[in-house]
Structure formats: C-alpha cells, structure tokens
Structure 1
C-alpha cells in the first residue's frame, strides 16, 4: 500500500461551535507543514493507503485534512469530507444518548435495566437483575465478548438481544473489565424502549442534527450512496484486496455503526470539550456527560508498558488515563479494514481524531500520529513513538510465529481420526452462535459459518484446526455413548471459552 498525498491543508472554522472567549494565537504555519511531512512519511512507512485527521484547539477546528487515497485502484483521494467507518468510537455517542435520556428524566443510572426491559435476560440471574445502564456501557457485566454471535451473522438487533440468555458469563458482574459489544447493543435496545425511537432515530434527532453532522450516517447502505467514502483494506499480503462490508456492524449499531468524516467529527470533539454545549445550547448536561467521563472500571493490566501513559480505566464509551501528566480520554475503533482513534485532552482544550482505511497495521499508525500531534501542540519534546511501535509490531509478529511453531510442536502427528471423515460432517447448532455446517471438500473437511468459509486440517485424534483467517482455531469433535459424533466444541475467537455446537 502506497501513500499519495494529494490535498492541501484545509482550515475549517465552524461558527456554530466557536467559543465566545478570546482565542489563543494560531499555530505557526511551519508546525502544520511539519505535521504534513510527518503524516505522509508515516503513511509510506506503514503502507497505509489513506487517512484523514482533524485537530480541535481552543474552540476551533484548527486543522482538517485527507491524505492518500480512498481507493487504491482508482487513486481517488481522501478528503476532509471522506466518510470512514469509525467503529467503536461510536460507543461514546451511545453513552451520550443514555446521558440525554437521564437529562430527560427517563433513565436512572442506578436502576437495573431489567425494570425498564422485562425481557432482558442473561445466563446468570444475579447479573440479569443487577445490571444497570451504567454497567452495560462500562464493560463490567461479567460477559466476555462473544463477538461471533454477531460478526457476519444474519441477525437483526432484536434477534441478538433475544440470544443473550444463551451466552455464558465467565466472571461475576463487576469482577473485571471485559470489553463487550453486545452490551452496547443492549444499551441501544434500552434507548429504543425509553425513547420510543430506534437508536438510529434518537441519535439523529438528539446528536447528529443538533451538531450539524449532516453527512454522518449510521448504516452501510447510506454510506454507499455517498459520493465520498473510503473503501477499506485488511490484508497485508494482498494490499489491494478490499475488506468488504459484511461484518453486520449495522446490526450491532450502538457498538460501532457510525460512519463520519473528520470535519464533522470535530463537532463531536468540541461538544466533549465544551461540557455538552454547542453554540451555547445544552445538548447534554455537564452533570450527565460527566457520568460518561467518570472511570467505572479498571482496565487490566492497569500498568501501561510505557512510563508516559498512566493507569488505564474505562468510563462510558471512553478510555481514561493520563499521557505525560495530562488527563486523556480516548477510544479506538476497528471494523472491516478501518482503524480510528479519537483523543480528548480536556485540561488542555485540545482534541484529535484520526482515521485510516487499513487494518493491516492495527492501531500503530493512528497512535503514532496522535502522540506526535499531542507532543507538538503541548510543547513537549517529541517522543519517537514510531520506533517504539514499529518494534512492538515486529515483536508481535515474532510472538505469533513462535505460537505457530509451538502449536505444531504440540501436535501428535502420528495420530489419525477415529472415524471416517464423513462421520464428522453435519449441521451443528448453538442457540446464540447459530449454525455451523461441516461438509466434505474432496478428502478434507470444511466448515461454513455465517459468511465464513473455513478450511480444516486434521490436527490430532478427533481435533481439527482452522486454516486461513481461522488459523489455529481448534474444532474438537465429541462422541455420545453410541460412538457417534453429536457435538463439536470450538475455540471461538473472542469468547475466552469453547462454544459447543450440537448436531441436528
């Protein structure tokens, strides 16, 4: 992936969000030129095709720009108005919707959601009757991610909601921070029940319209109608291969469905800095926005690797810690091949949002650029985060390669399946995860799961192993007393536990 810088600096000042107080002196032009040089260099070094960023400082949208291309084949440029999927950065919007409902007197943060939604049911009765709206959006429900309930699944929000009761918790409620998209989905259902409107309609009315986020959309069909959106890429070996849009993120919408550009995201950042106000009008009260900004869970491990970063905590839709002694609220976003990062430094009246169109390098580029900007504008010496994160990236690859070698070493290569391959074939089901179909593919097995096509190889005994994107995932076939395979236990990604599918 090659970076091609095609756009000049765009200075954009939104009158609707300008603060009344006297603005500070503008940043020297050479600082912005240096930023341009740095971003272009990073896109080239990390092989990122396109990106966009904005900087908000002292009540102004100081800087908004697109870099590189939104389509590697046509070379169409990214602009400051190009839509990207911002993924889990959307969580802060959903948390703010809950805060607005609290302002309206429709939500009590401390009231169990079961009292608002009698049909809310988890696999643990105490958690079911205890969880509040605050708990849904602070990742302390006791439920692990279970992301493959929704990823690429043919389910709508109500169907996901109804399946929560079939998902095992692996921790008691409040015991530990565990990131969870499904609980944000449930928060979206709560918003619907309390407001009488869908999450999408409530978002539009209470946040997007008042903030002038006119081109921001909440579904892929809406985005695809736009004349300016970025494709996404996620394959390091094949950088021109599109990631596509089949994740079903629109179904899990409140957890990650916002598609926005950097110009309009600046309005969202200014709302955060201006304590819930826009153009002097209260969109969400300072009191309830502070609920979003209050740490409710400790992120494990609490100690960061680098000394400049403080202990990690989570509020509602925001990671909260310190950076070089400065209070920092952040959230990343990852869906398809998009990677985004929003950063707010409330005591410095500054915020940054950056988004990219490849997932092949994870969050390394967005973190590197964000930290460079913060270092520069806070007049600190600039830390060489690029070298640090480049080493981390290389180390992670080496660790992954070692894990593959260890996996191969642990394999009993002299074993054979106990049954003929056709005996493993069949349709297996889980009440939440859905249908897993095993069929013969020549002299091998393959699995079909949602839109995933998974090649399997025999690992040892009655255990098979996924290939490709599912490399290393074990499929463990289990027999009944008659000696027939009636279950398959899968090390499902992001579940932290095996998921057992029963044969029909």
Structure 2
C-alpha cells in the first residue's frame, strides 16, 4: 500500500465530505417551510401553497395548512385557488397570441376589433387602443359594482361603460380598472369567434399541461382538492362559498394551483418557449414587460416595499428588487389571495396562493424567497409588512362590521315604507328596496343587504352574502328627498339610482 497516496486520499475525502455537508446546509429554501408556518399563523391564514421555478425547473412546490379551517384537508401544490388579478397577464397573453398571429396590433383601436365599443367621451372611444385597455390608462375609473354582484353578463357590462364619465384625462395617469380588462378579454371572441375561456384552454392551459386550471367556479363541480375561501367574522375564521363571477372574465376569473402556475412561469421565464416549443414570440413577451405608464407615488407599497421606480406593463407590475427587474401581479378575490412574480435575469419565478386576505403576506413570502435564492442578507419581510399593516390601522380581524349607534343620530325624515321602491342607474342597472319585518332591504342583481339606520336619510347595508360583505363592508346608502316629501333617488358604491316613476310610496 502506498501510504502517502492513502493519506492524501483520506484528506481529500474529508475535505469533500465537509464541502458536501456545507453545500447541503446552504441549500436554499431548506428552512423556508418553518418561515411559512410562522407567517401563516401570525397572519391568520388557513392555507398556503407555494411553487418556485429556477432555470426552467420546479425546485420547490409545497402546501401548508388546510383547505378549509377546522378540517383535516391539507393544502398541497395541486390545491386549486382563485388567483384573481394575477390572471390579468393571461388576458394580455391571449391578445399577444393574436398579435403573433397577425390578427391584431397592440396599438390598434379597440373599435377596429369590437365595433360596438363605446365610452362616454367620443374622442376616447375612437382612439383607445388594445394597449390602453391593458395598461389602466383610459382615464375611466374602476366601477367595481358594474361587475361585482351586478348580474350583468360581459357584453352588458361592456355596453354600460358608455355611461361612465371620464375621471381623469385620457392617458394622463395610471388608474386601475377591472372593466377594461374584461373588455380586453372579450376582444378575443370578437376576433376569433372563440370565447376568452376556450381560447385560454386551447392556446395556453392545454399546451402548458395546466390540467387543474379553469375560468369558472362552476368547473369546481366534481373537482377534488379545491381550497375554500375564508373571511373573518367577529375575529373568527369563517369559510364562505365562491360567488359566480363569470362576468369578470379577463379581469381575474382564473382558478389554478401552484403547480400549474409554475408551468406558466416556465413559459414566461423561457421567453415564450415551453419544453422547447414556441408558444409566444420573444417580442410580445418583452412588450408585456416593458413599462407603459408610471404608478402613482406611494402606491402598492406592500407589493414593492423597496422599489425606487414603479410602472405597469401589460398585465404586469414592474419594479426592481435588490438591483434586479421584478415582474409580478397580485390577485385578490373573495377570500383568496395570490402573487405571481419573476426576476427574469435570474430565471426565478414564484407563485404564492392563500385562501384568505390580508394580501400583504403573499408579497412577504415572495420577497423572502427571492432573498433565499439571491443569497446574502435575508429580510424578515413577514414581520416588517405585518408591523406596517398594523401601523396603518389595518386589522387582521377583518372589516369592522359592528353596528355602532351614533350619539348625534337623527331619525329618518320619512316613515320606513316611504323609502321602498325601484331605483335605476344607466351605468349600474336597477336596485329594489323592500320592507321586511319592519326593516329595509336592498336587492341588486345577485346580492342583497339589510339596511341598518345610521342617521337621518343615511343607512348602511349589511350584505347578506359573506364574500360581498367582506369586500364592501358596511356600505353607506343615502336617500335624497324630493318635492312633496317623496324619495327621489338613492346613492351607494359611487352610483346614483333614480327612483322609477310610479314606485314611490308617498311621504308622511
């Protein structure tokens, strides 16, 4: 035996073993599960799913907690959640496919593809482009009640946009608007005669193998491993049913799993390539990630707490993190929260899904994962954002739904029955106010609420649908009294509804 050789081999073996152990110890995300569990409990989130893509591989995919509170149904990487506005990038991609096909242009007027499209301002109607719809810069403010709980289908919703005033100048500044993304999604059937839903299934979900992804809660029928959304009521986690939100379409109607969204991230990080197959051109991928309009100063701090420059592309929020370009979009809808994020130059993509607000936790986990993979200092973003949340006066207990009697409250001007009747708005449609058990009830589309008296002719609607209540809270509803002591209109949610002739009950 050659002693010198054996001794050298032994030293090399020891050094190699130490190197291997150090490498194992330094492996990113090894301890991330403990961090998620701690954050999940502090933020009071029943279930979380996370997937991470690096260099075209899923390097992490795991679930935490349960699909429904108080049930032993674990969340995993295949659990389906509603991803809300994180789906806006899918809508932009559906139109990008049509750009690649030569069927439309980013700067083509919307009317070139959707002849009936009309906004309140004739100039804007003629000149608004596909790019404008996808970048929140039409100058038309969001009208959430136009789609949420309205009962309108997508076509009716788009028709009613013509009754909404411009709130700022055309292309003046960023102003988030779901209705314009719904409109953008409906350009797909206008051009192809294929619904936005089926187009996504055929051109994106199918090719990427996203078998657990759909565009309607109706598709949950018979589907296993679906998360339940939650809200907090009197400090207690309460599961709620999914609402029928099919009219939301291109604004955020996609349901998916962490594993499926990871395939979408592989496509994005691959610059339009997936498993060697070209799905989208590199040019349109770059178009969607190019800043189109600056974000308002101080806005979206939870999502981009360290950013010096923030902008919106087409379906993506754009900023920087630790010197790298950060591309992401969050999504919140009825007790579900999501974030889909990328640092393209590092080939890192992340998806975080939860089955309850508050939304800041998904951003905290996203940034923590980037820290883990980029190396260097790890920031405890969950604690930082949670502290900031509390400093802003936001509550982890959910919206304040307690009814507090005002000390200066005055009685209604008229008997309760006098407020009953039918009211109408060209923009928002019809509402009906009835009397049940001596109390007023407001009915609009698929939702209704009990009107609790506040003061004078002001009431607050306690919505009977828990999901709608969690979003709207106790909604002020004010009545206006016209000549002869007759109620002439009511206002709530930014809309004015005029009383229909013949439905007044008279005064005292």
1:146 to partner: Cα distance: 0.6
CA deviation vs aligned residue, 1:298-332 (integer Å, no higher than 9, x gap): 11125775872232211111000011221101100
1:284 to partner: Cα distance: 0.9
1:336 aligns with: 334
Q: How many residue pairs were aligned? A: 469
Matches of 2:407 and 2:237, distance apart in 1: 38
Whether 1:438 aligns to 2:433 is: yes
1:45–1:205 distance in 2 versus 1, CA, 3 Å: same
Alignment of 1:29-48 (within 5 A): 31-48=28-45
Counterpart selection for 2:256 from 257, 260, 264: 260
Counterpart selection for 2:392 from 376, 380, 396: 396
Matches of 1:166 and 1:244, distance apart in 2: 32
1:475 aligns with: 477
SS in 2 for 1:70: coil
Counterpart selection for 2:446 from 428, 451, 461: 451
2:320 aligns with: 322
CA deviation vs aligned residue, 1:463-484 (integer Å, no higher than 9, x gap): 3233463555332222333432
Structure 2: gaps (5+ residues): 1-21, 464-468, 502-508
Alignment of 1:478-489 (within 5 A): 478-489=480-491
**1:457/1:466 contact within 8 Å kept:** yes
**1:86/1:334 contact within 8 Å kept:** yes
1:51 aligns with: 48
Whether 1:161 aligns to 2:148 is: no
1:350 aligns with: 348
SS in 1 for 2:30: helix
1:414–1:113 distance in 2 versus 1, CA, 3 Å: closer
**2:97/2:280 contact within 8 Å kept:** yes
Whether 1:142 aligns to 2:144 is: no
**1:302/1:311 contact within 8 Å kept:** no
Whether 1:420 aligns to 2:415 is: yes
2:95 aligns with: 98
1:216–1:456 distance in 2 versus 1, CA, 3 Å: same
Matches of 1:413 and 1:441, distance apart in 2: 26
**1:436/1:501 contact within 8 Å kept:** no
**1:327/1:347 contact within 8 Å kept:** yes
Matches of 1:472 and 1:263, distance apart in 2: 37
Matches of 2:116 and 2:380, distance apart in 1: 51
1:461 aligns with: 456
**1:147/1:181 contact within 8 Å kept:** yes
Counterpart selection for 2:294 from 276, 279, 298: 298
Matches of 2:395 and 2:365, distance apart in 1: 25
1:398 to partner: Cα distance: 5.9
Whether 1:173 aligns to 2:147 is: no
Matches of 1:458 and 1:217, distance apart in 2: 42
Select the structure of larger CA radius of gyration.
Answer: 2
1:53–1:95 distance in 2 versus 1, CA, 3 Å: same
Structure 1: gaps (5+ residues): 1-24
Alignment of 1:4-23 (within 5 A): none
1:339–1:445 distance in 2 versus 1, CA, 3 Å: same
2:209 aligns with: 212
Matches of 1:419 and 1:412, distance apart in 2: 20
2:274 aligns with: 278
SS in 2 for 1:32: coil
**1:462/1:476 contact within 8 Å kept:** yes
**1:73/1:240 contact within 8 Å kept:** no
TM norm structure 2 = 0.86
**1:145/1:179 contact within 8 Å kept:** yes
2:189 aligns with: 192
**CA RMSD between the two structures:** 2.7
1:373 to partner: Cα distance: 0.8
2:200 aligns with: 203
1:188 to partner: Cα distance: 1.3
SS in 2 for 1:252: helix
TM norm structure 1 = 0.87
1:41 to partner: Cα distance: 1.4
Matches of 1:499 and 1:117, distance apart in 2: 29
CA deviation vs aligned residue, 1:86-134 (integer Å, no higher than 9, x gap): 1111110110111110111110111211122110011121111111011
SS in 2 for 1:308: coil
Matches of 2:235 and 2:410, distance apart in 1: 35
SS in 2 for 1:114: helix
Matches of 1:193 and 1:327, distance apart in 2: 35
